[in-house]
Amino acid sequence: MIENIEYDALLERFKRVLRDNGLKYTKQREVLLQTLYNNSEHFTPEQLYLYIKERHPGLNVGIATVYRSLNLLEESGMVTSISFGVQGKKFELANKPHHDHMICRQCGVIVEFEDQIIEKRQLAIAKEHGFKLTGHIMQLYGVCGECNKQKIKGI
């Protein structure tokens, strides 16, 4: 977990984004941000909504608030998402160091990884083409080790 001072700065930025978009800062929105901050999971809006409802039973949070807040956080660059087509998006807080993802097409597990050789190669490729790289998203799709084991066992 990251130090509280970083969370405090993140919360202040979130409050500013809300204010700039004419939305109120609420306990529900703060709990949403805290949940993303304290978990390394990638949440769909529905999973995040259910997670918050389960852990904060007295908090009256609506699914529309979750969707609206996630969209606002994504537009402001505070969260990133991985698109799963018709299954929707999964979100994570954008405060981690840059990383890429491997995604299992069978069970949906997401594995984060960092590889400096890949990063350097991408910069070199961009430079070869006279392209100034400002960011990238790499998503590798396949079948995870667990699903592969189940296939071999005939499960």
3 is in an annotated binding site: no
**Residues 80 and 6 grouped into a single domain:** yes
pLDDT for the residue numbered 94: 83
pLDDT for the residue numbered 83: 82
Final residue before a domain boundary, out of 73, 94, 115: 94
pLDDT for the residue numbered 3: 44
**Residues 51 and 108 grouped into a single domain:** no
pLDDT per residue over 110-150, tens digit each? 888 888 999 899 999 999 999 988 877 788 889 999 998 88
**Residues 89 and 108 grouped into a single domain:** no
pLDDT for the residue numbered 20: 94
pLDDT per residue over 25-58, tens digit each? 999 999 999 999 999 889 999 999 999 999 999 9
Nearest to 18, CA basis, from 73, 58, 83: 73
**Residues 46 and 85 grouped into a single domain:** yes
Whole-structure pTM over 0.75, yes or no?
A: no
**Residues 87 and 37 grouped into a single domain:** yes
User: Which H or E element spans position 66?
Assistant: helix 63-75
Domain range for 77: 1-94
The radius of gyration of the chain's CA atoms, rounded to the nearest angstrom, is 18
pLDDT for the residue numbered 65: 93
pLDDT for the residue numbered 75: 92
How many helices (DSSP H) and strands (DSSP E) are in the chain?
6, 5
| Whether the Cβ atoms of residue 52 and residue 61 lie closer than 8 Å to each other | yes
* DSSP string computed for 4-23: HHHHHHHHHHHHHHHHHTT-
Name the residue with tokens 């990133």.
80
User: Can you give the CATH number for the domain in which 17 is found?
Assistant: 1.10.10.10
pLDDT per residue over 82-99, tens digit each? 887 777 888 988 877 778
**Residues 84 and 69 grouped into a single domain:** yes
| Residue 19 CB partners (closer than 8 Å, separation 6+) | 25
pLDDT per residue over 65-77, tens digit each? 999 999 999 999 8
**Residues 85 and 106 grouped into a single domain:** no
Domain count, the chain: 2
107 is in an annotated binding site: yes
144 is in an annotated binding site: yes
pLDDT for the residue numbered 133: 84
**Residues 58 and 117 grouped into a single domain:** no
46 is in an annotated binding site: no
**Residues 3 and 51 grouped into a single domain:** yes
Tell me the pLDDT band of 1, cut-offs 50, 70 and 90: very low
**Residues 122 and 78 grouped into a single domain:** no
| Whether the Cβ atoms of residue 45 and residue 66 lie closer than 8 Å to each other | yes
**Residues 79 and 108 grouped into a single domain:** no
